[in-house]
């Protein structure tokens, strides 16, 4: 229903309120929201992006899994969904970091002499995660 991003934004805002009033220090705590591109397609999600930007919530981090899937079928037939989401976040004042997993990582991981990165990649592949495109958005401070 797209309510996850909005709930995360208001949780981050409430944390900031408690800190500002001296009731509970934030102590570097963050609110992380793990979302899907289908969820970000909802109007409520777009409003959460705007709330985060307007309120300057630098304690809010969205991680969006762009796998082009929704509960009721594929996300809008738009192969550029990452760029569209990036534009929406940047327009609202967010810092955007894109991490895209795919077969292009295989050559780089093959050069890993200690096999640390490769083990992480293999573990993700075993869980069906190697082809996910996972942008991470965080507000600029």
| CA gap 127, 95 in Å, rounded | 29
The residue with tokens 């995660």 is 129
pLDDT in tens, 55-109: 999 999 999 888 777 777 667 656 678 888 889 999 999 988 887 766 666 776 6
- All structural domains of the chain, each given as residue ranges with its CATH number in brackets, are 3-101+131-139 (3.40.50.970)
Beta strands in 54-119 (DSSP E): 60-65, 69-70, 73-74, 94-100
More confident residue, 138 or 90: 90
Q: pTM of whole model > 0.85?
A: no
- Per cent of the chain over pLDDT 90 is 34
| CA gap 64, 87 in Å, rounded | 14
């Amino acid at each position: 229903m797209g309510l996850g991003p909005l709930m995360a934004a208001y949780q981050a805002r409430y944390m900031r309120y408690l800190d500002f009033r001296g009731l509970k220090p934030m102590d570097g705590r963050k609110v992380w929201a793990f979302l899907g591109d289908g969820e970000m397609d909802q109007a409520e999600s777009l409003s959460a992006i705007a709330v985060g930007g307007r309120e300057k919530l630098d304690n809010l981090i969205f991680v969006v899994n762009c796998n082009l899937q929704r509960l009721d079928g594929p996300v809008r037939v738009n192969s550029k969904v990452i760029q569209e989401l990036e534009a929406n976040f940047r327009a609202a004042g967010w810092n955007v970091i894109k991490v895209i997993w795919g077969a292009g990582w295989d050559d780089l991981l093959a050069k890993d002499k200690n096999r640390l990165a490769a083990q992480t990649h293999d573990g993700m592949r075993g869980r069906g995660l190697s082809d996910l495109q996972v942008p991470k958005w965080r507000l600029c401070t």
